[in-house]
């Protein structure tokens, strides 16, 4: 049977999308706050102070008194005639009295002192009573009134118009009249029968053929991850080169380098990513292991390791970060994987592209192990 299949496919797709979105949001907030404060407090302070003091003053005064003698001549008594007979006795008595008076007066000296004692007692008593009464009244009344009115009006109008026109022309010539070829048969044909030629991997085919039967899945996966990928050819083979070097299999690395069709910048960046991640993955994996331990703070030190190539790659910066991400996945450094993944996603790469890079890393790592099976 001879089959000739020239295929002509014409696809015309017209997509018209009209989206009208009207959003009206009205928010009305009314807040009323009334605060009344009344404080009531009564404080009474009573204090009594009593001071008692007694003062005794003793004063002694000496006074000299000079007494002057006054002599009076006693009158001579006139004796009546009837008493002249005893006048001699009366005179004797009178003289005796005068003599006694004189002796009494002479008993007082002209300068005899007189002693006067004065005693003064003073008693002082002071009583102080203090009474303080303070009355404070506090009353707090808080009234809060909040009124919120939200009105949201959303109007979405979507109009999609899709027009697809497919024209397939399949002239088939068959020299075998007993064989019938239909459209289903054509669709089941492999891509090579329809004119598609995948990239040649002659050297990797030798690696695949040499894998043991236990690694049959890896045989198929090695071809699929390098031919069916969301990555462009440069990034796909750049990832493969970096990962093959990281696996440490010289023959596998040589086969990948021979089959890869990449520019010099991609080749240089892939080699740099493999070597640099060989250092960084060990260091930052250790730092990650110590997180949460009692001595974590002891290792929060500067790395003091040169890694300038990350900041200045030879080619595309995002592609270089993708190579580093794939190698970090092989070496099992979680901190590095998270760091490089964030950079490539921020650089515009999709999750599918990142996923395909890790698929290539996983298969090449598995092939390296499979080649060591005895």
Closest CA to 240 of 338, 363, 370, 372: 363
Q: What angle do CA 44, 45, 50 make, to 5 degrees?
A: 145
Is residue 95 annotated as part of the catalytic site, yes or no?
no
Number of separate helices (H) and strands (E) present in the chain: 11, 6
Residue 48, CB half-sphere, CA atoms under 13 Å: how many? 2
What is the widest separation between alpha-carbon atoms in the chain? 228
User: Which residues fall within 8 angstroms of residue 263, CB to CB, at 6 or more apart?
Assistant: 234, 315
Quote the tokens at residue 120.
Answer: 């003064």
Q: What count of other Cβ atoms lies within 10 Å of the Cβ of residue 263?
A: 12
Helix 351-370, helix 216-227: angle, nearest 10: 150
Tokens of residue 214, six digits: 């236990």
Residue among 95, 243, 324, 336 flagged as catalytic: 336
Is 324 annotated in the active site?
no
Residue of 95, 243, 324, 333 with catalytic role: 333
| C-alpha–C-alpha distance, residues 285 and 299, integer Å | 12
H or E segment to which residue 12 belongs: strand 8-37
Residues marked active site are found at 333, 336
């Amino acid at each position: 049977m001879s089959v000739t299949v020239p295929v002509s496919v014409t696809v015309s797709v017209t997509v018209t999308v009209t989206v009208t979105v009207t959003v009206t949001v009205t928010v009305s907030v009314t807040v009323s706050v009334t605060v009344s404060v009344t404080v009531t407090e009564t404080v009474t302070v009573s204090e009594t102070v009593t001071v008692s003091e007694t003062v005794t003053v003793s004063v002694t005064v000496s006074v000299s008194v000079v007494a002057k003698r006054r002599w009076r001549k006693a009158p001579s008594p006139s004796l009546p005639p009837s008493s002249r007979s005893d006048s001699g006795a009366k005179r004797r008595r009178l003289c005796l009295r005068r003599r006694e008076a004189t002796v009494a007066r002479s008993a007082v000296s002209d300068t005899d002192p007189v002693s006067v004692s004065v005693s003064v007692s003073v008693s002082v008593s002071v009583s102080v009573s203090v009474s303080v009464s303070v009355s404070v009244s506090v009353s707090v009344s808080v009234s809060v009134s909040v009124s919120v009115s939200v009105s949201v009006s959303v109007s979405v109008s979507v109009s999609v118009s899709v027009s697809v026109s497919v024209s397939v022309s399949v002239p088939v010539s068959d020299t075998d009249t007993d064989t019938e070829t239909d459209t289903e048969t054509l669709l089941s044909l492999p891509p090579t029968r329809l004119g598609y030629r995948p990239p040649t991997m002659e050297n990797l085919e030798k690696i695949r053929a040499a894998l043991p039967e236990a690694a049959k899945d890896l045989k198929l996966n090695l071809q699929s991850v390098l031919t069916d990928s969301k990555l462009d050819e440069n990034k796909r083979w750049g990832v493969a080169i970096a990962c093959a070097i990281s696996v440490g299999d010289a023959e596998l690395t040589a086969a990948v380098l021979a089959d890869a069709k990449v520019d010099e910048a991609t080749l240089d960046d892939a080699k740099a990513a493999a070597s640099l991640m060989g250092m960084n993955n060990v260091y930052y994996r250790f730092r990650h292991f110590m997180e949460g331990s009692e001595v974590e703070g002891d290792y929060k030190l500067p790395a003091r390791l040169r890694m300038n190539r990350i900041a200045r790659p030879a080619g595309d910066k995002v592609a270089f970060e993708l190579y580093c991400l794939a190698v970090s996945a092989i070496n099992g450094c979680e901190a590095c994987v998270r760091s490089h993944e964030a950079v490539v996603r921020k650089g515009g790469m999709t999750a599918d592209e990142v996923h395909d890079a890790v698929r290539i890393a996983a298969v090449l790592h598995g092939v390296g192990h499979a080649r060591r099976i005895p």
